[in-house]
């Protein structure tokens, strides 16, 4: 057993107050509540208003996570921020959040693993703690998608799917408890599939001189591009495979797990994963109905809601799996 064990000491989450139902999007996006619910399971999502930024959402989630962990911000010694929708291109959101929270001095970095961001971040936090480098790491997943979507009928295949929100966890060190804490991870990426779900601009690969040009904007290259069917098929396959592997590593089976938190991109993806692995539906905590796809925020947001609803309790064995742009995918197993 490692000399130090990492565990989730506190969780917090936040979504902006404005909720938009599918009906609210019907006219602007030439879509329908029926199409969205049947194909995705989404009923509503939260979108920010005004000049709210991604780190503004994160600050609220972090405050709740610190309170839940019964720690002060001074106890935190590292910040890991997972997002694909940062406040600015650089510096990373870890730095902006650190300044807003007045936590200057400690290391802060961003990771860009899209929908798998939280699982990658959890694995990194776990590794830092196991080697004794940090004691209380703030891991955040936060997104504002609404400002980056093509909210015209042309963009409806993507725009209806995404919501804004933030989740945060405090990952802390403790003396190892047998069979406890964060146990195992499985991380993957396949850059050959990058263009199945990507954001072309701004970027250095498109123009000899500029990262952003008027032509790029006219061509709508600032909006995400997705091959929905490819993403769907791969998500089902890779999430199922990865979770199976992570459980096997720890000598556990599906039946040993008390609650599953999957990335929330499509209710049908999660139903299929559950079907393939033989997971009883009541053991999968879905939130897509209320939030849509909130990318890196999804898993901590779901855990916070499950905790509040009494569905997640200390001592439970928790399985997680996610899949997204990159492609990136992975899974984690932990004793909560
Ligand atoms: O976090 C990882 C990121 N994303 C995912 O994991 C998403 C994975 N993919 C999916 O969830 C599904 O592929 C979608 C929900 C995105 C799409 O469902 P689909 O069953 O694959 O639909 P489709 O893209 O094949 O489109 C079917 C039809 C098309 O019309 P025609 O060509 O059959 O006449 C689309 O134009 O649905 C139309 N359509 C819409 N209609 C109303 C596409 N988007 C919409 C919309 N409202 N929002």
Domains of the chain, residue spans: 5-174, 181-335
Task: Let me know if the fold of 5-174 is the same as that of 181-335.
Answer: yes
pLDDT at 126 over 70: yes
| CA-based torsion, 203, 204, 208, 212: positive or negative | positive
Nearest by Cα to 260 from 194, 333, 198, 208: 333
Choice from 33, 84, 115, 232 to test ligand 1 binding pocket (greatest atom count within 8 A of CB):
232
The answer to whether the CB of 224 is under 6 A from ligand 1 is no
263 is catalytic: yes
What separation in Å is there between the alpha carbon of 121 and the centre of ligand 1?
Answer: 29
Query: Residue 299 CA to chain centroid, in angstroms?
Result: 5
Four-point Cα dihedral 92, 56, 20, 291, nearest 10: 60
Q: Which residues contact 324 (CB under 8 A, 6 or more apart)?
A: 113, 114, 115, 116, 197, 231, 235, 263, 265, 295
Burial class of residue 14 (count of CB atoms within 10 Å of its CB; 0-12, 13-18, 19+) = buried
115 is catalytic: yes
Tokens found for residue 254: 């599906």
Q: Output the pTM of the full model.
A: 0.97
pLDDT at 104: 86
207/184 Cα distance (integer angstroms): 42
State which ligand 1 atom lies nearest to the alpha carbon of 197.
3
**pLDDT tens per residue, range 11-66:** 999 999 999 999 999 999 999 999 999 999 999 999 999 999 999 999 999 999 99
Residue with the nearest Cα to atom 45 of ligand 1? 157
CB neighbours of residue 306 within 10 Å: 20
State which ligand 1 atom lies nearest to the alpha carbon of 232.
8
pLDDT at 2: 62
- Three-state SS at 310: coil
CATH number of 5-174: 3.40.47.10
The answer to whether the CB of 151 is under 6 A from ligand 1 is no
pLDDT at 237 over 70: yes
Residues 224-244 have a mean pLDDT of 98
Burial class of residue 255 (count of CB atoms within 10 Å of its CB; 0-12, 13-18, 19+) = exposed
Tokens found for residue 232: 């769907």
pLDDT at 123 over 60: yes
State which ligand 1 atom lies nearest to the alpha carbon of 226.
4
Nearest by Cα to 287 from 318, 313, 311: 311
What percent of the chain is modeled with pLDDT above 70? 99
What separation in Å is there between the alpha carbon of 156 and the centre of ligand 1?
Answer: 9
The answer to whether the CB of 157 is under 6 A from ligand 1 is yes
Mean pLDDT, the chain, integer: 97
pLDDT at 89: 95
pLDDT at 189: 98
Q: Which residues contact 323 (CB under 8 A, 6 or more apart)?
A: 115, 116, 231, 234, 235, 238, 239, 263, 265, 269, 329
Contact present, 94 and 152 (Cβ < 8 Å): no
Which CATH number, 3.40.47.10, 1.20.140.10, 3.10.105.10, 3.40.30.10, labels domain 181-335?
3.40.47.10
Name residue, tokens 């905590």: 285
Residues 177-195 have a mean pLDDT of 96
**Bridge partners (DSSP) listed for residue 197:** 226
Contact present, 99 and 58 (Cβ < 8 Å): no
pLDDT at 1: 57
Residues 163-176 have a mean pLDDT of 98
Q: What's the pLDDT band for 3 if we cut at 50, 70, 90?
A: confident
Nearest by Cα to 322 from 314, 330, 313: 330
The answer to whether the CB of 4 is under 6 A from ligand 1 is no
């Amino acid at each position: 057993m490692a000399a130090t064990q990492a565990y989730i000491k506190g969780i917090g989450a936040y979504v902006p107050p404005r909720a938009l139902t599918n009906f609210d999007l019907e006219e602007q996006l030439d879509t329908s509540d029926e199409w969205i619910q049947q194909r995705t399971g989404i009923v509503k999502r939260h979108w920010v208003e005004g000049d709210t930024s991604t780190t503004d959402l994160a600050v609220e989630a972090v405050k709740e996570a610190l309170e839940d962990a019964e720690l002060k911000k001074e106890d935190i010694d590292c910040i890991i921020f997972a997002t694909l929708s940062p406040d600015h291109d650089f510096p990373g959101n870890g730095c902006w959040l650190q300044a807003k929270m007045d936590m200057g001095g400690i290391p802060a970095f961003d990771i860009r693993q899209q929908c798998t961001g939280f699982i990658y971040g959890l694995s990194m936090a776990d590794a830092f703690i196991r080697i004794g480098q940090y004691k209380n790491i703030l891991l955040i997943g936060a997104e504002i998608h609404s400002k980056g979507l093509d909210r015209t009928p042309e963009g409806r295949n993507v725009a209806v799917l995404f919501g804004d929100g933030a989740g945060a966890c405090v990952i802390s060190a403790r003396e190892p408890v047998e069979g406890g804490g964060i146990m195992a991870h499985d991380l993957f990426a396949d850059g050959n599939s990058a263009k199945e779900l990507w954001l072309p601009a701004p970027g250095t690969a498109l123009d000899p001189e500029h990262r952003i040009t008027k032509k790029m904007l006219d061509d709508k290259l600032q909006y995400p591009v997705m091959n929905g069917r490819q993403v769907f098929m791969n998500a089902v396959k890779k999430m199922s495979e990865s979770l199976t592997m992570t459980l096997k590593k720890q000598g556990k089976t599906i039946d040993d797990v008390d609650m599953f938190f999957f990335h929330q991109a499509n209710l049908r993806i999660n139903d299929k994963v559950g079907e393939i692995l033989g997971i009883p539906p009541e053991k999968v905590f879905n939130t897509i109905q209320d939030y849509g796809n909130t990318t890196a925020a999804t898993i901590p947001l779901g855990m916070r809601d499950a905790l509040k609803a009494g569905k997640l309790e200390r001592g439970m064995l928790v399985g997680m799996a996610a899949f997204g742009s990159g492609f990136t995918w992975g899974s984690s197993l932990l004793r909560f």
